[in-house]
Structure 1
Amino acid sequence: MKLKKVASVLLALTMVVGLAACGSSSDGSSKGGDTKSSESKDSGTEKTKLTMWSWSPITRTCDKMIEAFEKENPDIEIEFTYYNYDPEYLSALSAAAASDNLPDIIGLQPGSLTAQYADYLMDYSSYAQDEWGESWKDNYPEMIADQIQMGNKSGDEGNYILPVEAQVISIVYNKNVFKKYNLDIPKTYDEFKAVCKTLNDNGVAPLFFGGANGWQCVNMFTMLCSQLDTTMFDKAQAGEIKWTDPSIVEAMSNFKLLFDDGIVQTGAMSADANTNGTPAFVSDSAAMMALGSWWCQEFTAEDPATTIADWDFGFFYLPAVGTAKNPATPVGGIDFGYGITKNCKNSDAAWKALKSFSAGAGIQACVDDVNNLPAFKGIEPKNDKLNKDLVEQYNSFSEDLNSAMNQRIGEPTIETALQNALAGVGSGELTPEQGCQAVQDAQDAL
């Protein structure tokens, strides 16, 4: 999972008590298991009610997204339950699936999460074809379109996740810190090491890394893979090369260099990107973080920190690390999407919601809140209150989606194995060779 800012907003007139939640954001708030339900009006007709669970978008943006949809569809009411992603949302999905009690619509990530629940989801292909034609996937960048069926079982041509938002991973930097220490954006690894040494010498976390978060480890690893070969990550997943291939071992070795060469802060593998990283980053105590396009959402938070309100942030792609010859390419994919479960009694109404959230008023509300990038082509912010530099960065990320390398993993077992291997290598408990062998062992066991 990537870094998400969780707002402490009560979304419901009625609270659904779910699993305990513990996520936090840059303003120190926390949230989980909250329900949004539109207030019924005496219109003389009964509304169609849909239930929806997700961890994304963040609560304030989801409120706007649902409001935009319900305004255009006053006959449909969405009851929304928000969870923090891990473990609350994952646990809630697992328990609901086991008891055949899934809601009408669920939030999904491509690959492993969608694959895990594909048997519980409706194939929406006929709806998409009726709406946008046989070539409906052309409405998404090629990499996004490819991820829709990522993780499907052999021979399964169904489409279960409709992309809503997308993302591009990068290094985000605090301009105030760079200016204070007269630092330039590094173009080479030697320059990167010099920048980080200056920061370490002055007690500032250089590249703050949330090693306790598996998603941070995988995101960094995919950036390092892109520096060597933009196809090797997908080839390893497909079994075309082994996870012990020299190119994969090389990327794993370069991952270890980030710790050996002082690129990331001391104690990085026990740090959390949400609870430790974000406060340090916005208070000028950390200079950089491995984040990406979703960082833009901080700007539209209520009462943001001064560094955010002034938008004192920029981004660059990871300079070539260690043995690599090239900087990282854009890496990313579908941030999240929605699927319709087989429990849904009114799939027509559910499709209307998904269509709005992906390509209509719903996604426009998300984009105006700069929550993350639209997966659907041709949608840009219309919010004239946004910072000009922010909008330029946001639109630049959207453009980079067209050439981005896939960041997602199709098989849940491999995703877990890779996260564990990276944790072991980062902490020094495993050599790069041992880490890669552990992932290959998991692949061989499938």
Structure 2
Amino acid sequence: MKNSWKAVVATAAVAAVALTGCSDPSAGGGSDAPASWPAQDTKLDGTTLTIWAAQNSNKTPESVIKGFEKLTGAKVDVVTIPDPYEQGIQTKVATGDKPDLAFWQPTASQLTALNAKTNLQSLDGAPWVENYDANFGDLTGLLDNTRYAALVSSPAVEGVYYNKEVLAKAGVTETPKSFEELVELGRGLKSQGVTPFYEMGDPGWSTQWWVQVQLADAAADGLWDRVNANEEKFTDPTIQGAVDTYQGLIEEGLFNENIKTSTFEDQGDALLAGDAAMVVQVNSFFNQLQAKADTAELNDKIGFFPISPKGNVGTFIPDQSNALVAFKTGDEKREAAARQFLSYWLGDGYQDFIDTQSTPSLLKGATTPDTVPQALLDVHASIKDSVGSMQAQAVANPDFWINLTNMIQGTMTATEVTQATQEQFEELAKAQGVSGF
């Protein structure tokens, strides 16, 4: 299994060539000049928009769609693209199949993967951009200084979710102030018969968070710039050391015994039930907890803190559930309607959206609902001091987590993980024409 990524690289390279090959303006190429932005209430009777969404985001726009359809007379259909979502989208777009809008990870590398200049509408000049609070307008969604993605919810942050009752019972009164303290806490909990950390190994997409939080300080010091310039590699001491540490913690027995077979659902159930003390995860994990418990229970049981080698710095990783892109379809009326939909979402429809989703506000003038649990507020607050993840800062996103999962399953060593990841990174960078590869 250690060379299985080569098929993925071949697919990605073919998709990249296919995506860059659409230069015919009728196929959606052309200028990135800012388009006009229709008023939110412009009538759209007879217009149907299609949104592509993943299984974990297909319910997200429900309140927005309901309000938009009532206001404009348009019809909006959501089509669920099966996992793996990103690969499915890229394959469809490479063959010329495009929706009007799609949920998409708003990072430079993922916008590049869609060949944004050719396939996506520029969102420059959008009326809602100036309404973003804090640094949200500049945090993500940009490629080569052009805005291609609309951030609609708080970007995910890699950090530690913990069960307050478990830690209190163990006599823990303060959360760790560094990764080293986190590990020492885990060892102390294990000595008391508590499972310190719970990891999902089937599928193991969260495995990479354990490595990336260890890279936060290096990321702040330009790690991913050096990787992008081919001046530092996954096989070099910084990233290799983080993988080695992760493997060592697993071998030490600081994780759940069923790590190879445990699922995302198992992870949430275990933390809520107090069967484990801590989980390193992102916001979608907490969304799962919100489906299992009300705000009062979550406030009583679940806390959050960011973690990094030398402190409490979070690692932000906006995912596809946080943002949308609008495609160039060649139908000017539908393209304008898609822009209007985004204006409504981040305009008159926004307060109802965050109320329905129980999520913090990104916009000035919108009020974060009092139903948002404290842990999610703490995640949101950590963004302003966070650093970018591999997904946010690297020019290409190799299947790091697949390789780490293979390590957990025993089919790859820690050295093979970084070697395979580096080789795939180089192939993807070459396919994108990145200088230095």
For the 8 Å contact 2:398–2:424, the answer to whether it is kept is: no
Measured in 1, the distance between the counterparts of 2:55 and 2:137 equals 18
Pick aligned residue for 1:354 from 328, 331, 342: 342
For the 8 Å contact 1:106–1:340, the answer to whether it is kept is: yes
Pick aligned residue for 1:101 from 97, 111, 117: 97
User: Kindly tell me: are residues 149 and 61 of structure 1, through their superposed partners in 2, closer, same or farther at Cα, counting changes over 3 Å?
Assistant: closer
Measured in 2, the distance between the counterparts of 1:308 and 1:163 equals 29
Gaps of 5+ in 2: 1-42, 431-437
RCO (CA 8 Å, sep 6+): is it higher in 1 or 2? 2
Pick aligned residue for 2:150 from 144, 162, 166: 162
Query: What is the letter of the counterpart of residue 401 of structure 2?
Result: Q
Measured in 2, the distance between the counterparts of 1:204 and 1:344 equals 58
TM score, norm. by length of structure 2:
0.72
User: Kindly tell me: are residues 122 and 422 of structure 1, through their superposed partners in 2, closer, same or farther at Cα, counting changes over 3 Å?
Assistant: same
Measured in 1, the distance between the counterparts of 2:197 and 2:255 equals 5
For the 8 Å contact 1:294–1:373, the answer to whether it is kept is: no
Measured in 1, the distance between the counterparts of 2:178 and 2:399 equals 31
- Correspondence for 1:124: 121
More strand by share: 1
Pick aligned residue for 1:175 from 164, 173, 193: 164
- Correspondence for 1:115: 112
User: Kindly tell me: are residues 244 and 309 of structure 1, through their superposed partners in 2, closer, same or farther at Cα, counting changes over 3 Å?
Assistant: closer
- Correspondence for 1:9: none
Query: What is the letter of the counterpart of residue 332 of structure 1?
Result: F
1:337 aligns with 2:323: yes
For the 8 Å contact 1:330–1:404, the answer to whether it is kept is: yes
User: Kindly tell me: are residues 317 and 131 of structure 1, through their superposed partners in 2, closer, same or farther at Cα, counting changes over 3 Å?
Assistant: closer
Task: Give how far 1:106 is off.
Answer: 1.2
User: Kindly tell me: are residues 46 and 193 of structure 1, through their superposed partners in 2, closer, same or farther at Cα, counting changes over 3 Å?
Assistant: closer
TM score, norm. by length of structure 1:
0.71
1:257 aligns with 2:248: yes
- RMSD across aligned positions (CA): 3.7
Number of matched pairs:
378
1:415 aligns with 2:434: no
Residues 124-163 of structure 1: pairs in structure 2 closer than 5 A: 124-125=121-122, 127-129=123-125, 131=127, 136=129, 139=132, 145=138, 147-149=140-142, 158-163=146-151
SS in 1 for 2:244: helix
Measured in 2, the distance between the counterparts of 1:237 and 1:354 equals 32
For the 8 Å contact 2:98–2:327, the answer to whether it is kept is: yes
Pick aligned residue for 2:200 from 210, 221, 225: 210
SS in 2 for 1:334: coil
Gaps of 5+ in 1: 1-43, 151-155, 321-325
1:220 aligns with 2:210: yes
For the 8 Å contact 1:244–1:437, the answer to whether it is kept is: yes
> CA-to-partner distance for each residue in 1:132-163, whole Å, 9 max, x for gaps?
6xxx589476587354245xxxxx66543222
1:368 aligns with 2:366: no
- Correspondence for 2:11: none
User: Kindly tell me: are residues 114 and 175 of structure 1, through their superposed partners in 2, closer, same or farther at Cα, counting changes over 3 Å?
Assistant: same
User: Kindly tell me: are residues 261 and 298 of structure 1, through their superposed partners in 2, closer, same or farther at Cα, counting changes over 3 Å?
Assistant: same
Task: Give how far 1:294 is off.
Answer: 4.2
User: Kindly tell me: are residues 368 and 104 of structure 1, through their superposed partners in 2, closer, same or farther at Cα, counting changes over 3 Å?
Assistant: same
Measured in 2, the distance between the counterparts of 1:412 and 1:298 equals 28
User: What's the % identity of the aligned pairs?
Assistant: 20
SS in 2 for 1:206: coil
SS in 2 for 1:286: coil
Pick aligned residue for 1:268 from 234, 242, 259: 259
Task: Give how far 1:55 is off.
Answer: 2.0
Task: Give how far 1:123 is off.
Answer: 4.2
